Every structure is written in structure tokens, then in C-alpha cells.
Amino acid sequence: MTSEESGKILQFLPFSSVISSSFWHKLTQMKIDVYALSDEPVDITGYYTNQSASSRLPACLNVDYSSFENHHASVVGRNGILCQGLLQNTNTFEAFKDINKQAAINKCGEQIWNDILSGAALLNPSLLTRFLLLTFADLKKYQFYYWFAFPTLVFPSKIILDEEPKELDKVLTKDELHQLQQAYDQYKATCGQSAFLVEKNPDLGFKCHPLKELANLKDTTWVGFCDPSSLPTNPGWPLRNLLALIAYHHKERLAGLSVLCWRDEVRDGQRRIGSSLLIEIKDVVYPTENETNPKCLGWEKNERGKLGARMVNLSNSMDPERLANSAVDLNLKLMKWRLLPELNLDIVQNTKCLLLGAGTLGCYVARTLMAWGVRHITFIDNGRVSYSNPVRQSLYTFKDCLNGGQPKAESAANCLREIFPGMISRGIDLRIPMPGHYVTDAEEIEKDVQLLADAINEHDVVFLLTDTRESRWLPSMLSAYLGKLVINAALGFDTYLVMRHGQREPWNPGQVQSEKSKGVMRGALVGRQLGCYFCNDVVAPGDSTKDRTLDQQCTVTRPGISLIASGLAVELMVSVLQHPEGGNASAEISTAAMTTVQQHQQEPDNKEISGSPLGVVPHSIRGFLHRHQQVLPATEAFYNCTACSPLVIKRYAEEGYAFLSEVFNNPDCLEQVSGLADLHKDIASIEDWDYPEESEESND
């Protein structure tokens, strides 16, 4: 009768995977932000414990959000044992299915075997407990396919026992258990390895040693390991590779070896190690095949008990707001995978935008800003939603028109939060004071001016989207004073203008003022030299709503114009933000400039491409829908501009609201302050010049 026939074959409890939902959230983030299209394996970590509260629980290997961090064993708890793993996330479900599973686990097994051969596993026993995780993440449906492998070497092929494993409290006395527990705690505080040696000395009691001292193995020494199993007769999966290590380095000593399956449990508030197992190995059977590397197995079975992948669907269990928060920016982050790796999405998302006007332009600009990932939008408008608005203004519905109409600014802000709860949006019901519109309640208007100034100061970008020219003057002047980036959009019947104002530093009385404008129509101008919406005007803004018919009071345009202008306005802002110079980006006037993608295609070795990765950053875009044409003029700041002139800004800095009150009641004041009045006189004097008549000289 052979030893195999007369003894019991030792069987091991395989690992069962436990995946926290936080792992999938982190994988989603890493896939979008870091891995992109790469399907190369990456290092991760997992952990198991040798502390089980029930004998019916499986031996669990856990992964969570921290698995992607290169942490130490201290973060997995007192009884946590850190394991090294490999994650391979595929780009398609077909690639996930087509992976050669046997080749994949053999590669991991080869790595374990090499660590055994080199002795590295003696110094660091955690190298023996590796795992492999194959995944495919369907980020549109939030379904995750995965398959775990816990590679174990078939070496030896069988372990023969003379008797069933015994619980430690049936082998040792209570005092001996206490001594062993103290010896282990002392060892763990200094070494903390998952496998160790236990030396039993009749006089000195127990003492634990690192596994690397295996060469000094004595008959009275046990080999111990942290056992994740809670079964009364079966040790956990990590013992298999530990026995392979011992079999390779001390083959002659494996038969007759005592193995301590260390289980450090807490039950009813009491720590107990008595359920640890002591296994006496009688004999060993080795593989008959003469192979370089032992066979490797360990793929986890699915919930049906068969070898196969599993799938988890998180779409129903996730918080809808959190789900939306991670999904809304998916399209943007996908841009970085292939097309625009230089794209800086954080700077866009963190930009606070102030929209002056919640009409047709304001609604479309807000929606486009949201699509670009902007999270902070404030509306300023004093109108109410009318019955003609919802069909043209996308943030309103018929219900908003009832009972006299809801305030536009507040309704628009509420709608943004309904579309995406993660939006930080608010509405300010405010009528912007304007030149030429006489002030009747000075105290109320002064409050409005201060509210507008505070709002501009709290935001990074100001969009001018109001109906009238003069309503843009005060925000233009205040933005120039505060050094804010201004994007302006204005509509005609079949024409449109989108432009950025020249962005300079906030007003400083000691700063050097710009020289008088000469006008530039070719080349490029740096951002601080660019003009504003009023720089091309030679008259001050006045009351443009006086004595107007209905068609003149309303913004009558071809319906598609507002969508085009709104989209261009936001794209211009994003292009400025992506430029290395930001608001000081030079203004291009040529549409022949290439995007970063095109530049890389033509110059693949050029790693330092200047400018915005999104292409040209013009000063202004003038469009003519009747001939489907766009031009990109750039003009220098006008020294006598009624809005951004240093003469006007200085007057406001010195007098504050007193100066504004004068402007509101008498717009001619702006022409006096800016120097336009003197310019008019100079032009008039030139026109009135009395040129002498040419005399006809006789040839006689």
C-alpha cells in the first residue's frame, strides 16, 4: 500500500474575489484620465485577512479604490496581508474574450517560480501570493466584465497527511497559546511578513523568525503562514506556493514538516488563535513531467460554478447624481485619448462664467459651456419669460410663461441644475444701468452698479449677450477696470459678431498707459493690445431703444444665427483658456492656421507646438450668413475708446459712482472724458479748411 493510499490528500480552499464598488469607480477614472487606449498590464494591490468570524465564510481577496495606489501593508488593517496583482483592462469586449487565459496565468506563474528560484520569495513571502485581474469596462452602460486568477504552482502535485489537521487549542495548553500569541505579535511588529518560522524551545518557549532563516530549520520548528481559510480541515490558497518554495529549497525536509495555519480571530470581543490549524505532512508526490516551470492553475469560477468571467452592473445601484457627474465629461475626456492629449480640461471646468443676458444667446451659450465642462454659471437679466421665448430660448418651457412669466435669470439657473445637478448656477434679477438712460432713483441704481461690479469681480469670464449696444458699456468698462476676460456676441438679421476684448491687468494708477491706437489689419496683436466692442466707435453709446417700432425693439434674426454665434463665443473662450498666454494670446487673422492635431500630422516629431491646441485664437469673428462667409479682423485698442480707454478707467477709479451717474444722465460726458469730443473738433476743422484756388499762370 502506497503512502497516498494510506493517507489523506491535503486540499486547499481557493480564494474568492471581493470587489468594492469603489474599485470600479476608480477604474473608470483611471481608464478615462490615465490609461486611455492603453491595454498594457498595470500593477495593483489587493489584500486578504486571517481573521474570520464564521467558518462558513470564503477566503476572500479584496480589491478597492486603494488598489491603484502604491501603498504599504499598514493601510490594510491589523490583520490585512497585502498582495501584489496585475490588472489588464481591455478596450473592447471582444479583446477581453480573446485573451489567451492559459498564457496569461502561466506568465504570472513563471514570475512566481522565478522569485522562488532566485530566493526573492524567501525575503518577501508576499511575492508568492499574486493575482491577475482581467477586465473590460463598458463606461456607457456602467457594466464591468472581469475574471480573477490566483496563480498557484502544481509543485508538489500532492501533499499526503497522516491525520486530519488539528486545531491549535487541542495541541497546546492555554499558557502555550498565550506565549505563542506574544511571540507572533512581537515578530509582526518588526517584520510583518505573511509567512514565518515558529521555533519551540522547551525552556524559552516560542519564538518567531523570518522565513529567510529557513536554512536553519530544525525538527522543533513549524512553518507558519497567515491563513485566510476558516474551514476546520482545509488551509487557504497561499499555502500551495509556500510549499512549492520549501519543496524547491529544502525538498528533503518537506515530508515530516509541521505547518501552522495562523488564524487570528476575534469572537465575542475576545481574540483567539485556538482555531489555527496544525498540519503534519506525511509524504509528498511530485509531478512526473520533466518541465522547466511547474504547471500553473487558479482561474476563479463564476457564480454558476464554472470557469468563466463575471459581470457587475452598477448603473442601477449608483447615485444618479454621481453617475451623471462622471458621465457628462466623458466626451471631453475622450478627446484626450487620440486627438488632443494636450487639452487642459481642469482649467475649463474651474472657470467661473458670468452671462449678461438670459435670452436666446444666453441660453445657447450656457448649454455650450456645460458641454465643455464648465460648472459655475451665473445669469444677470431683468426680463421675464414671455410666450415667444421658449421656441427660441432653450432653457425655458411653456410653464415658465404663465402668470406673467418667471424671471429669466432665475429660471435659466434652475434649468441648468435640472439638466445636471452638479451645476453651480444662480440668477440675478438686475437691470444694467446704461448711458443715456436717465437715472430716476439714484440710490437704487448705485446698488445695481455695485451688484454688477461684485458679480464681475467674482467671475473669470464675462459674456456680453444683451440686446442693446449701450447695455454692454458698463460691464465692458468694469471688466476692463477689473482685468477680466470678456467675450462679446452680437447679432444682426443675417450677420453676427463674436469677439474677445483685450485683456489687461486690473487697473493700477501707476501702470504705464498704452499709446494712441494706429490700427492693425495684418499680422497678429497680443491680447492686451486688442480693442473692445466700443473701440471702433467714434460716438458715445446712447439710448438706442427710444422711438422704435416693434420690429426694431425685438432682436429680429435668422433663427440659426444665434446658435452659430453662441457656439463660436464659447469656443473662442475655450481656445483662449487653452493658449499658453491665456488672455494675452496673440490674435490671428488667418483661417489657414492649423489645429494641434493637424500640426502633429504634418510635423510628428515636433513635440513643442505653440499656441492653442484648438487652433487659431482670433480677436473677432464676423459672419455673413447670406453668403456663408467668415472673416477674422483684428483691431488695436483705441486710445479714445469710451469703454476701455485709460482716460475713462482713470476717471471711474477716481470718482466711482459719481462719474457713472453723470454718464447715465448725459452720454456726451463720455465723449468729453475719452477725448472723442476733441477728435470731432479736429475732424471738423479739417473739413472746414479753406483751400486756396489754383492760379492759372500764363505762359506768355
| Residues annotated catalytic, as ranges | 554
Strand ordering across the sheet containing 620-624: 424-429, 376-381, 352-356, 461-464, 485-491, 495-500, 620-624, 629-631
Distance in angstroms (rounded) separating the CA atoms of residues 582 and 532? 17
DSSP-derived 3-state class of residue 263: coil
Distance in angstroms (rounded) separating the CA atoms of residues 283 and 256? 7
Q: How far is CA 491 from the centre of its chain?
A: 36
What are 231-235's contacts with CB under 8 Å, separation 24+? 231/13, 231/55, 232/55, 232/165, 232/167, 232/275, 232/277, 233/164, 233/165, 233/277, 234/10, 234/11, 234/12, 234/13, 234/165, 235/10, 235/12, 235/13, 235/165, 235/259, 235/261, 235/277, 235/279
For 400, phi then psi, to 5°, come to -70, -15
Distance in angstroms (rounded) separating the CA atoms of residues 265 and 457? 60
Contact 199, 192 (CB under 8 A): no
Distance in angstroms (rounded) separating the CA atoms of residues 368 and 348? 12
DSSP-derived 3-state class of residue 141: coil
Residue 333 CB neighbour total at 10 angstroms: 18
CA dihedral 375, 378, 383, 387 (to 10 degrees): 0
> Can you read off the three cell numbers belonging to residue 301?
469560477
Contact 416, 370 (CB under 8 A): yes
Burial 687-696, CB ≥16 within 10 A → b, else e: eeeeeeeeee
Distance in angstroms (rounded) separating the CA atoms of residues 250 and 149? 28
Distance in angstroms (rounded) separating the CA atoms of residues 112 and 116? 6
Contact 527, 484 (CB under 8 A): no
Residue 470 CB neighbour total at 10 angstroms: 22
H/E run at residue 416: helix 408-419
Contact 274, 175 (CB under 8 A): no
Distance in angstroms (rounded) separating the CA atoms of residues 62 and 17? 6
Distance in angstroms (rounded) separating the CA atoms of residues 513 and 501? 17
Distance in angstroms (rounded) separating the CA atoms of residues 516 and 252? 96
- Looking at 213-363, which runs of residues are DSSP E strands? 221-226, 258-262, 265-267, 270-272, 277-285, 296-299, 310-313, 352-356
